Structure 1
């Protein structure tokens, strides 16, 4: 039986104005404006709909000095998805910008790497330098879900469904996972924070929030290995995603992109 294929939507919900020096460790980076976009993703076909990551809400935006441009539930509604009807959510990791909005998905099961739960409840969280990307309320909520039977632990190499595989790469956080999704144009990799920007892969430079540098660079190689080409890799925070890929509809240009479709143009490395 052949693999199922899926549509994939990248939904921007927030942004942060910053500079290139804030996004790379080392290398000859010509400093200048380099904004960060915040995304969730939707993977769907006729058989299933999966939300990947859940973003943060207005309260967390104010706490972290970020700007909500479209609340997560608004982006989902544009795709005809009611958040309270979502049955499955995959969390790439539990940092505050990927694991919030707890009220939106009351009926969902959450799929996370077991190693990520061990990490964010273990001894490394004694260090502010390591725990600062986590929001304690998010971690507490995941423990609630565990005891409520709404949490599913995934293996380092796992199959979610025909045409969707999950791969623990670590690096940015110890239990970070990426997704490989079969589409009409081939295998697309949702890299999430294994590569925040295209530049991390192209220049082999690290993002400053890193737990294990070796795992981060091994993760770059794994992302490239799993994707059909460099044009099948979707980084986690790069505004170029919305410029390169066609919008879901004319009214969602610059907001929701179809990354299962070919990009408008190829990137210069």
Structure 2
């Protein structure tokens, strides 16, 4: 059977933010601060055999308590793509942060995947410390534990072929068990980086995001993603970058087809190109 998938990014919210909040130690770059957008997506991966989500967005009420508001509900976005909640067979939970696992209760027929290291970390002895716990919701951690008790949660270690043509790989840095999904499509491989790469500039310019578990591991991950993105048949898709809506074809309102690129700018490859790109970036305001 053909395992090639359709792959869509579904954008359900946008936060007006700043570059100094987005990037770790932003001041070291010697650039003035400027505003930027942080887009919130989840991803629909499907073929004739199955329908899979990678993440499921933040809960409207719990997100609202953090001043994060859904602009379109995840179920409405799925409806625009002809998918109902009950059609979803499986949900990959890339990591435990609130904006990625907040709606697991909306998918009653689904099984779920998460990295074992991720679950163990957020249920471990220091997970309730305020400086650690702030990106997660304790209620949602309990919901994931309930999935495990119901035998609906599959725990992943290292690299794992979830289904033919859909491989999950643990990429530490942002969190201990951050998962990345590599998806085979008719036009090549789509790498859904989720929060392993929030913005293209992280990968292209070696600029770490402001929230991380292991900074050195995050730098190593960026090297890996640059190598992947340099391959002619592979596209790495960041988890929060507004440029996704410009680099790929929008097929419905807030629904982007990641198998149909429309704007593949020259991406920096060598160290010299990275330095030149960083200099160009400093000369003009832009989003994150």
When normalised by structure 2's length, the TM-score is 0.87
- TM-superposed CA distance for 1:4, in Å, is 2.5
Give the corresponding residue for 1:20.
Answer: 19
What are the residue-to-residue correspondences of 1:30-49 with 2, within 5 Å? 30-49=32-51
SS in 1 for 2:65: helix
Q: How many residues align?
A: 264
Unaligned runs of 5+ in 2: 269-288
Query: Contact 1:187–1:226 (CA<8 Å) still a contact in 2?
Result: no
Query: Contact 2:92–2:112 (CA<8 Å) still a contact in 1?
Result: yes
What are the residue-to-residue correspondences of 1:1-269 with 2, within 5 Å? 4-26=3-25, 27-28=28-29, 29-227=31-229, 228-229=231-232, 232-249=235-252, 252=253, 255-267=254-266, 269=268
Query: Contact 1:245–1:259 (CA<8 Å) still a contact in 2?
Result: yes
CA separation of 1:267 and 1:40: change in aligned 2, threshold 3 A:
farther
SS in 2 for 1:67: coil
- TM-superposed CA distance for 1:57, in Å, is 2.2
Query: Contact 1:224–1:230 (CA<8 Å) still a contact in 2?
Result: no
Unaligned runs of 5+ in 1: none
When normalised by structure 1's length, the TM-score is 0.93
**Equivalents in 2 of 1:4, 1:230: separation in Å?**
16
CA separation of 1:83 and 1:41: change in aligned 2, threshold 3 A:
same
Q: What's the Cα RMSD here?
A: 1.8
**Equivalents in 2 of 1:201, 1:114: separation in Å?**
26
